[in-house]
């Protein structure tokens, strides 16, 4: 017992050093660079104080406000849509075509979805081309359908991408709640289906999905990829504003930008706090509301509509991705043609030599990262102590810190540290950096199945004299293969999509599909963008499809195992 305790601690310490070490080093370096900045450019009107410079950036308050509003609204809407979708389709979801739609959007990187959406809804996009072909107006309308100042299109893009992720997470956690028996009891008491869920099941789901929901929240508040394509421009959201400062030729803006990165972190933490307080309030008043016990009909009316809406949202997303594919094969497709004037492989052929070169490296990095993440996660689950509240709630939250902190804020500092140690530009450094982002997802996906594994299995095995390693290899692993495969798929898709970590830490020496793709996508050729978005969506999708079919193959004549693992 004593031994297990020590080993568990060792694993945890290792994880924290490996995952949080780089973050804190990077942040620390950032703070140092803020205060150690020498003051040049001392011309009138330019202050050398980074904080002062940051606060005097025009539009900062608007940027902060739009960051907050888009991030919070996108998260709340996504949560609501995903929950209701799961409620209505709970039993049928796995077998239907909806799953294909969900995985397709789930695996596609944010930037691919954003690019696809602009193909669809921009004033010169497909929708308006369709309208123009009927009503015959000459020029695209001069209106905000993307990049609107309030960030509506950004919210739409985030919702399209986050709803499938949340559905995925909810499906995984619902299996831990005896939904059927709750529903039977509640319905026997005269509540309709919608009320059963709202009153009984959702409050139980929330603690299980809180962490992924916060991940979505943090991403929505601080993402760059989607905001730069769909978000407001003058001023942009805070993250894009900071990126502009980091990428300004004027190196004196680096220090204020670093302060801004700290501000972005505070912003995320502040919203977390607000959400937590809301949860406390809901818990308090929810109990009173439950006790009152009225049977409101309103939810029964809203639910079907909401589901139709989430359907539309996902169809929108899938159609956007489809448009990217069409663009990649078109040779001429100018306004106002609804369909491409000619189709060809020319763009693919032209880009192939470039992309094939980087595809191998991307897959290698993604595989190595995912493999190490899975090994570390298994080590964690093997050694963790369940009864400890710290282990159950706080530690997983800590692991997700990389997902909560804006990348640009600590990567610059982290690379300085890597430079000092000679690690910058090495494969090891890049894989390590990817691990920061891959590990939390792998952990989230694997945690529930591993923790809810029937403890009697291992007790029986121990009683029969089977050691821990043998138990892991021959009992647990075969049962938990689906969770490992799902984690691999997510891990690979997360790693493939990483742009800034590869760019900063790879020092330009290590190029992946995504760095190549983003560099190309700064050009103005829609067909190239189409190729880029298609490829970016395709590679992770293959990983997902692979995971799905492998687990189906394995379970083909072991159907009894499915029940044990869930």
Partner 1 sequence: MRNLIRICLISVSLIFSVTAPLLSATDWQSVVDKSRGQTVYWNAWGGDTRTNEFIGWVGAQAKTRYGLNIKHVKLTDTAEAVSRVLSEKAAGRNSNGSIDLIWINGPNFFSMKRENLLFGPFVADLPNAKFLDLSQGSPNTVDFTEPVEGLESPWRLAKFVLIYDQARIKEPPTSMLKLGKWASHNPGRLTHPDPSNFMGATFLKQALLELVSDASILQYPVESEKQFLLETAVLWDWYDDMRPNLWRKGNSFPENESVQKQLFNDGELDFAMSFDPAVAAAGIEEGLFSKTTRVFVFENGTLGNVSFVAIPFNAANKDGAMVVANLLLEPKVQARMQNIEFLGSFTVLDLQKLDSESREIFDLLPSTPALPKIEDLGQTLLEPHSSWMTFLTQEWAKRYTR
CB of 332 to partner 1, least distance (A): 6
Residue 522 vs 553, nearer CB to partner 1? 522
Least Å distance between CB 43 and partner 1?
7
**CB of 378 within 8 A of CB of 488?**
no
Question: Would you say 64 or 438 has its CB closer to partner 1?
Answer: 64
Alpha carbon distance 358, 350 (integer Å): 15
Contacts of 442 (CB under 8 A, 6+ apart): 370, 373, 374, 377, 487, 490, 491
Beta bridge partners of 332: 342
Q: How many CB atoms lie within 10 A of CB 481?
A: 18
Which residue bears the tokens 């894989």?
A: 431
CB of 508 to partner 1, least distance (A): 4
User: How far is the C-alpha of 161 from the C-alpha of 101, rounded, in Å?
Assistant: 12
| Closest distance to partner 1 from the beta carbon of 270 (Å) | 23
Nearer to partner 1 (CB atom), residue 27 or residue 447 = 27
Separation CA 370–CA 159 (nearest Å) = 27
CB of 251 to partner 1, least distance (A): 5
Closest separation between CB of residue 144 and partner 1, Å?
7
Residue 415: which residues within 8 A CB-CB, separation 6 or more? Answer: 26, 424, 504, 505, 507
Q: Find the shortest distance in angstroms from Cβ 261 to partner 1.
A: 14
321 vs 417 by CB, closer to partner 1: 417
C-beta closer to partner 1: residue 384 or 516? 516
* C-beta closer to partner 1: residue 337 or 460: 337
CB of 435 to partner 1, least distance (A): 21
Residues of this chain that bind partner 1 (CB under 8 A):
33, 40, 43-45, 57-59, 62, 122-124, 139-140, 142, 144, 147-149, 228, 232-235, 244, 246-251, 254, 331-332, 334-336, 350, 354, 412, 415-417, 419-420, 424-425, 503, 507-509, 511, 515-516, 518-520, 522-526, 528
Nearest to partner 1 of 124, 382 (CB atom): 124
Q: Which stretches does DSSP call E strand in 200-341?
A: 330-332
Can you name the residues that pair with 218 across neighbouring β-strands? none
Considering beta carbons, is residue 124 or 175 the nearer one to partner 1?
Answer: 124
How many Å apart are CA 106 and CA 341, to the nearest integer?
Answer: 31
* Least CB distance to partner 1 at residue 527 (A): 8
Shortest distance, position 58 Cβ to partner 1, whole Å: 4
SS3 breakdown of the chain: % helix, strand, coil, rounded to 5?
A: 80, 0, 20
Q: 6 Cβ partners below 8 Å, 6+ apart? A: none
Q: Which residues contact 424 (CB under 8 A, 6 or more apart)?
A: 415, 418, 505, 507
Comparing CB distances to partner 1, the nearer of 243 and 378 is 243
Cα–Cα distance, 279 to 221 (Å, whole number): 19
**How far is Cα 381 from Cα 435, in angstroms, rounded to an integer?**
18
Using CA atoms, how far apart are residues 392 and 407, in angstroms rounded to an integer?
Answer: 26
Q: Which residue has the tokens 């995504």?
A: 514
Question: For 232, phi and psi rounded to 5 degrees?
Answer: -65, 160
In terms of CB distance, is 519 or 561 closer to partner 1? 519
Give the nearer residue to partner 1 in terms of CB position, either 103 or 153.
153
Question: How far apart are alpha carbons 446 and 547 in whole angstroms?
Answer: 14
Minimum CB separation of residue 425 from partner 1 in Å reads: 5
Q: Is 33 or 204 the residue whose CB approaches partner 1 more closely?
A: 33
For the bound state, the minimum distance from the C-beta of residue 198 to partner 1, rounded and expressed in Å, comes to 40
Q: How far is the CB of 140 from partner 1 (least distance, A)?
A: 5
Pairwise CA distance, residues 33 & 42, whole Å? 18
198 burial (CB, 10 Å; 0-12 / 13-18 / 19+) is buried
- Cα angle value 80/86/87 (rounded, 5°): 90
Which CB atom, from 157 or from 491, has the smaller least distance to partner 1?
A: 157
Of 41, 406, 505, which is closest to residue 249 (Cα–Cα)? 41
Of the chain, the end-to-end C-alpha distance in Å amounts to 28
Structure tokens, 131 = 């309208």
Residues 160 and 146: their CA atoms lie apart, in Å, by 14
């Amino acid at each position: 017992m004593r031994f297990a305790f020590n080993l568990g601690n060792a694993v945890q310490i290792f994880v924290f050093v490996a995952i949080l070490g780089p973050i804190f080093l990077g942040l620390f370096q950032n703070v140092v660079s803020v205060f150690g900045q020498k003051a040049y450019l001392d011309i009138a009107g330019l202050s050398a104080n980074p904080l002062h410079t940051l606060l005097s950036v025009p539009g900062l308050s608007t940027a902060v406000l739009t960051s907050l509003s888009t991030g919070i609204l996108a998260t709340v809407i996504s949560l609501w849509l995903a929950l209701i979708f799961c409620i209505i389709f709970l039993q049928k979801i796995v077998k239907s075509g909806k799953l294909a739609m969900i995985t397709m959007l789930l695996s596609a990187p944010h930037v691919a979805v954003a690019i696809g959406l602009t193909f669809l809804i921009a004033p010169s996009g497909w929708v308006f081309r369709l309208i123009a072909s009927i009503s015959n107006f000459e020029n695209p309308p001069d209106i905000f359908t993307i990049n609107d100042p309030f960030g509506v299109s950004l919210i739409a893009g985030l919702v399209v991408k986050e709803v499938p992720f949340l559905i995925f997470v909810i499906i995984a956690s619902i299996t831990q709640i005896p939904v059927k028996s709750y529903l039977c009891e509640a319905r026997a008491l005269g509540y309709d289906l919608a009320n059963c869920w709202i009153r009984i099941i959702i409050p139980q789901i929330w603690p299980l999905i809180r962490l992924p929901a916060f991940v979505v929240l943090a991403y929505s508040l601080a993402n760059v990829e989607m905001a730069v394509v769909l978000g407001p421009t003058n001023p942009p959201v805070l993250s894009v504003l900071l990126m502009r400062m980091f990428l300004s030729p004027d190196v004196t803006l680096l220090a204020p930008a670093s302060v801004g990165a700290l501000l972005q972190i505070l912003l995320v933490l502040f919203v977390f706090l607000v959400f937590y307080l809301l949860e406390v309030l809901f818990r308090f008043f929810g109990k009173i509301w439950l006790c009152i016990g009225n049977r409101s009909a309103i939810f029964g009316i809203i639910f079907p509509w909401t589901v139709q809406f989430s359907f539309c949202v996902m169809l929108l997303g899938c159609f956007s991705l489809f448009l990217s594919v069409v663009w990649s094969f078109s040779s001429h497709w100018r306004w106002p043609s609804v369909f491409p004037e000619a189709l060809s492989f020319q763009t693919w052929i032209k880009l192939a030599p470039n992309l094939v070169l980087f595809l191998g490296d991307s897959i290698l990095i993604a595989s190595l990262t995912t493999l190490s993440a899975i090994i570390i996660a298994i080590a964690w689950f093997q050694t963790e102590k369940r009864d400890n509240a710290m282990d159950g709630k706080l530690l997983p939250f800590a692991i997700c810190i990389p997902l909560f902190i804006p990348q640009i804020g600590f990567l610059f500092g982290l690379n300085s540290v890597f430079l000092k140690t000679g690690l910058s530009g090495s494969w090891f450094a890049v894989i390590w950096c990817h691990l920061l982002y891959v590990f939390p997802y792998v952990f989230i996906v694997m945690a529930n199945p591993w923790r809810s594994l029937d403890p009697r299995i291992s007790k029986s095995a121990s009683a029969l004299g089977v050691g821990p390693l043998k138990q892991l290899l021959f009992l647990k692993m075969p049962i938990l293969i689906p969770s490992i495969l799902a984690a691999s798929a997510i891990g690979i898709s997360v790693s493939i999509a990483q742009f800034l970590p590869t760019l900063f830490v790879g020092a330009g020496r290590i190029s992946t599909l995504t760095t190549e793709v983003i560099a190309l996508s700064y050009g103005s050729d829609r067909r190239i963008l189409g190729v880029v978005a298609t490829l970016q969506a395709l590679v992770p999708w293959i990983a997902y499809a692979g995971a799905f079919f492998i687990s189906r193959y394995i379970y083909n004549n072991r159907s009894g195992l499915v029940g044990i693992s869930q």
